[in-house]
């Protein structure tokens, strides 16, 4: 009898079977430990882009990093208005409950969300009626104005500048969370920015004092 899966789900199930035979079986002791609790030391905020998987890029084992992914790897500013604040809830859980020691915001090259923020346009003709993407990338409006003043709105240099400006904007917004600012000031928590270039697979880390991203050798 053939598998009752669509081709797309079938590929995922095939991957699961490889994981069960190799990844899970060879790390049973670690999975047994993780059954009781998790103690990640690092939180990574990354883009939902299918090409940028933090676990793969950093080559980590299960339980090592707490990951939140969304369009353009954005962190909204701290606010307590009614609503569903997914990123803020994840931050609160990671920093207050799991007590991670570092939060890394990782942007990436060829980011569709940042390109949309730069041009204020979305590719394609139909985007649904919710306006959710437009509202979300509006978080980058201030950063966009700074980028376009120097680089304009077209071309790869402008796009890359926007992608890296997005990381800086999220770091700025992280510091609007009172408990994050307090922990950073006391030395309990470190905030870092990173940028992964899809074209060459090179990770860049932000030096906030200089304001520049430097490739990791």
- pLDDT value for 68: 98
Instruction: Please report, for the domain that includes residue 81, its CATH number.
Output: 3.40.1050.10
Judge if 84 and 57 occupy the same domain: yes
Cα distances (Å, whole numbers) of residue 31 to 12, 24, 158, 216: 21, 7, 44, 31
- pLDDT value for 131: 82
- pLDDT value for 162: 96
At CA 188, angle to CA 77 and CA 37, rounded to 5?
A: 90
Q: How many residues does the chain have?
A: 217
Judge if 166 and 200 occupy the same domain: yes
Judge if 32 and 132 occupy the same domain: no
Judge if 112 and 180 occupy the same domain: yes
Judge if 31 and 129 occupy the same domain: no
- pLDDT value for 121: 62
- pLDDT value for 122: 52
pTM: 0.91
Judge if 96 and 174 occupy the same domain: yes
Judge if 186 and 201 occupy the same domain: yes
- pLDDT value for 124: 46
- pLDDT value for 28: 81
- pLDDT value for 5: 87
Show the domain range for 202.
38-215
Question: How many structural domains comprise the chain?
Answer: 2
Cα–Cα dist 189/11, whole Å: 39
Judge if 13 and 87 occupy the same domain: no
- pLDDT value for 128: 55
Judge if 22 and 117 occupy the same domain: no
Judge if 202 and 142 occupy the same domain: yes
Judge if 79 and 89 occupy the same domain: yes
- pLDDT value for 19: 86
- pLDDT value for 2: 59
Judge if 120 and 19 occupy the same domain: no
Residue ranges in the chain modelled with pLDDT below 70: 1-3, 121-129
């Amino acid at each position: 009898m053939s598998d009752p899966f669509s081709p797309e789900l079938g590929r995922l199930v095939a991957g699961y079977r490889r994981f069960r035979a190799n990844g899970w079986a060879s790390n049973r002791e670690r999975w047994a430990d993780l059954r009781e609790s998790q103690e990640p030391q690092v939180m990574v905020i990354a883009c939902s882009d299918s090409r940028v998987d933090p676990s793969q890029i950093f080559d980590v084992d299960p339980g090592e990093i707490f990951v939140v992914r969304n369009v353009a790897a954005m962190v909204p500013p701290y606010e307590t208005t009614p609503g569903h604040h997914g990123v803020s809830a994840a931050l609160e859980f990671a920093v207050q409950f799991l007590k991670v020691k570092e939060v890394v915001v990782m942007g990436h090259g060829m980011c569709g969300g940042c390109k949309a923020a730069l041009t204020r346009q979305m590719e394609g003709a139909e985007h649904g009626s919710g306006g959710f993407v437009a509202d979300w990338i509006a978080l980058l409006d201030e950063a966009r104005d700074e980028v376009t003043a120097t680089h304009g709105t077209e071309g790869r240099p402008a796009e890359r500048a926007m992608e890296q400006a997005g990381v800086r904007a999220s770091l700025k917004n992280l510091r609007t969370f009172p408990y994050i600012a307090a922990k950073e000031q006391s030395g309990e928590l470190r905030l870092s920015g990173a940028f992964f270039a899809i074209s060459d697979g090179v990770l860049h880390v932000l030096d906030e004092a200089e304001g520049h991203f430097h490739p990791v050798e």
